[in-house]
Each structure stands twice: as C-alpha cells, then as structure tokens.
A and B are shown apart, each in its own frame.
Chain A
Amino acid sequence: EAGVAQSPRYKIIEKRQSVAFWCNPISGHATLYWYQQILGQGPKLLIQFQNNGVVDDSQLPKDRFSAERLKGVDSTLKIQPAKLEDSAVYLCASSLEGRQTDTQYFGPGTRLTVL
C-alpha cells in the first residue's frame, strides 16, 4: 500500500514570495490533515478536510495561508506572502474516516526555508 505522498520535499524562498505544497493521501482515506512543525516543536494542525469539506481550520493563518482539496483526494496548501516565521516542515497526514482512534499516517513532509 502506497503511503502519503508530498512534493516538493524541500523549498527555499525569499520572504514575501508565494509557495505551494501538494499532498496525495493514502487511497481510500477520507480525512486529510495539514500540520506545521517548527524545529524543536510538535506538529500543529493547520487544517483538516473530511472528503472535500473543511472540518477544522481554526489554526490556519487565513490572511496568508489557503488550502483546498478538490474532488476529495489530492490537496494543496499555499502560503502567500511568506514570512520568515513560516520556516518549518509541512506535514500532510491522512486517516481512514477521521475517527478518534483511526491512525493518522504522515507523509515525508516538505521542508520550507524562508530567507
């Protein structure tokens, strides 16, 4: 079974530029999550999708971050414009149905450096 795929793996941009990340969840998984993990910290949930609907985006900085999950499969996360403090690893995860005891499987992440 293929895992969660993410691209790119690394991205370096200058502040005020825009960037987009892509995620393909495990086949058949209805729930998709985007996390931000700053160095030395645990992952922080940015947004959660159930199929193509948003379940939770309470910690998404909506003035600069946006995300979509068209057709309930792939998802993209965009930052525009980027700030220095956005430097982090962006992790995508998916789970079967989003139940509390469903395992969340993480992708390899995209490491973003904002200069």
Chain B
Amino acid sequence: QKEVEQNSGPLSVPEGAIASLNCTYSDRGSQSFFWYRQYSGKSPELIMFIYSNGDKEDGRFTAQLNKASQYVSLLIRDSQPSDSATYLCARARWTDKLIFGTGTRLQVFP
C-alpha cells in the first residue's frame, strides 16, 4: 500500500465548475497535509496546507481533512483553464519531511 494515494487522472471539468481532487494516506500518525500544484515542465508550488479536521478555505481553494477516514481533498471552485496542472498531495508526520503522492492531472476545458 502506498503511503499517499491519488488517482492519476486526468480529471476533466468544464470551465466554471468545481474540481474535486482526492487523496488517501496510510500512516495514521500523519499530522499535516499539503497540496502542491505542478504545471507541466515546472516545479511544484504550494497551494495550501491543513492539519486540523474540517475545512480550510483560501480564495477559490478549499482543503478538507478527515483523519478518521484518512482522507484529504482539494476543491477548486470556478475552475479556470489556467488551473490545468498536476496536483500533488503530500503528508508530513513529526518533521517537515514530505511524502508525496503521484499526483492527479486536472484538465479544465473552456
């Protein structure tokens, strides 16, 4: 079982729709969870992190964490073609060492 699992996609959504990206993890000791965006041929950039159960909102992005179900999600509201990228989920335990999933490729079509 992989430590962080993501569906590789692609996830295709129309412009203006809500994109829902999901991630599960196996280590119950995981404390913090991170969502990174990676455009093709570019390096990852942090979108947001979450460490408490529930929702965390930042602009058009909402991260959701459910530690009991070992599940993290990222919602992107009003999706734009510029959101088309690979979204990487990562977790950290006691330190800042990040364990990444393989990423979900999102395609937003006009």
CB 8 Å contact bits of A18-39 with B (1 = contact, 0 = none): 0000000000000100000000
A-B contact count (CB 8 A): 51
Q: With the chains together, A91 CA to B31 CA distance in Å?
A: 24
The contact size tier of chain A is: 20 to 34
Cβ–Cβ contact B43 & A101, under 8 A: no
Q: Chain B contacts of A109 at CB under 8 A?
A: 43
Cβ–Cβ contact B44 & A100, under 8 A: no
Contact of B42 (CB < 8 Å), options: A31, A44, A45, A108: A108
Q: Which of B13-21, B65-73, B76-84, B88-96 lies at the binding interface? A: B88-96
**Given the contacts A40-B102, A100-B92, A106 and B44 also touching, CB distance less than 8 Å:** yes
Q: With the chains together, A107 CA to B45 CA distance in Å?
A: 10
Q: Chain A contacts of B88 at CB under 8 A?
A: 42-43
Give B100's nearest chain A residue, CB to CB. A42
Tell me the interface secondary structure of chain A in the complex: loop
For residue A6, give the distance in angstroms from its CB to the closest CB of chain B: 9
Cβ–Cβ contact A98 & B96, under 8 A: yes
**Given the contacts A42-B88, A100-B31, A101-B32, A108 and B43 also touching, CB distance less than 8 Å:** yes
Q: With the chains together, A56 CA to B95 CA distance in Å?
A: 10
Chain B residues with a Cβ under 8 A of chain A: 4, 8, 31-32, 42-46, 49, 51, 88, 90, 92, 94-98, 100-103
Query: Which 4 A-B pairs rank lowest in CB-CB distance, beginning with the nearest?
Result: A42-B100, A106-B43, A100-B96, A98-B96
